[in-house]
Structure 1
């Protein structure tokens, strides 16, 4: 029997579900996945009962219920410190929290212009002008962290909360053929070759086709 339950939405479309799932797996938590299709009215009503914020993912563990991706990250970091979800160095840890929080609360034009869709591929996609500053900022964050901490992950030799937070951006850059500079492109490839990502993407591609393509992010 699994140690915890993680309520998620579509693996193909839900970037927040992906982040929460990555964090749980990085922490070594044995989870049962409870999938709630966001487009089903009955399931949406169920989700309303599960989470006052109507957001996924939602983690149930040891009698506690935690939603919001960063709240899950902080909970897992406290409960499983041996997983080292944040860097050991204080300055690196502060920066990791800062860039993770920036992704959590910003990049709205990127989210709306390039919705996550792991099954799709749109070569030569015309990128909305308003999304270009967000794409530039993501590249700048990646370049700063990789330059300072040596890669291959944003904060060194092992993935952190920041890598989980930025993983959906990497998938968007693949889906929409977004041109990247060499360092961000190499990091995008590192994310896409991450065994946890490969596992998630395989499951996403196996999802039923009746889920309509979403034009907003869940």
Structure 2
């Protein structure tokens, strides 16, 4: 596609939503300009209102046309830049991938609230609420179902939007030192070793800005 792409993202240490389309762009070597908003700054909200129709990140600018929301950006890239390669051709896998991506996009509220993305941190949870444990179990079930049907090595066989949507979960599991079923360990390790994920984490580790609400969540327990 003959267009200039600019992806506006938040801090790499914290912004799980930003990681998703960024990873898709990087995996498929789509050229784009990266623009960051420091979510810890006092004027972050003002910046985002200026840069994004929704007032949130990420947003992809295609020349002067905005595409916002992580899943919408991934779908747009799939249709307009990748000729559909970000979803498998097999109908059952495509349906599963879209369903599980929508589920992580709209659900798992406790995981978001109690396990916010914080790449630099290593935290041992003081306790695991049953409802949160059930969300993690559900994620494991989705991963296992996808891998069983596709045969791996990625969730839907080849790398897809589904892997991008669940990448922040893999990083959260590392942050909060949560173990997964032994059959899912190779998948998590593979994603953490992805060149783009390694690059994202390297940048995240170098960031110095702090979002206090995230850092203080477990600091006083």
Moved more, 18-27 or 118-127: 118-127
- Whether 1:149 and 2:141 are equivalent positions in the alignment is no
Query: How far does residue 165 in structure 1 lie from its aligned partner after superposition?
Result: 0.2
Structure 1: 4+ residue segments shifted above 4 A: none
1:34-71 CA-to-partner distances (Å, cap 9, x unmatched) read 11112223232021122232221110113321010111
Moved more, 104-113 or 59-68: 59-68
1:51-107 CA-to-partner distances (Å, cap 9, x unmatched) read 232221110113321010111011101112347111111221111111100010000
In 1, the alpha carbon distance for the partners of 2:82 and 2:73 equals 13
Say which SS state the counterpart of residue 43 (structure 2) adopts: helix
Say which SS state the counterpart of residue 136 (structure 1) adopts: helix
1:52-91 aligned within 5 A: 52-82=53-83, 84-91=85-92
Q: Residue 120 of structure 1 corresponds to which residue in structure 2? A: 121
In 2, the alpha carbon distance for the partners of 1:152 and 1:177 equals 23
1:1-40 aligned within 5 A: 3-40=4-41
In 2, the alpha carbon distance for the partners of 1:23 and 1:152 equals 17
- TM-score relative to the length of structure 1: 0.91
Query: How far does residue 213 in structure 1 lie from its aligned partner after superposition?
Result: 4.2
- TM-score relative to the length of structure 2: 0.90
Q: Residue 181 of structure 2 corresponds to which residue in structure 1? A: 181
In 1, the alpha carbon distance for the partners of 2:174 and 2:154 equals 18
In 2, the alpha carbon distance for the partners of 1:110 and 1:124 equals 13
Unaligned runs of 5+ in 2: 216-221
In 2, the alpha carbon distance for the partners of 1:213 and 1:43 equals 14
1:191-202 aligned within 5 A: 191-202=191-202
Query: How far does residue 154 in structure 1 lie from its aligned partner after superposition?
Result: 0.2
Superposition RMSD on alpha carbons, in Å? Answer: 1.8
In 1, the alpha carbon distance for the partners of 2:91 and 2:175 equals 35
Contact 1:112/1:215, CA 8 A, preserved across alignment: no
Say which SS state the counterpart of residue 11 (structure 2) adopts: coil
**Structure 2 vs 1, CA of residues 125 and 29 (structure 1 numbering), >3 Å: closer, same or farther?**
farther
- Whether 1:133 and 2:134 are equivalent positions in the alignment is yes
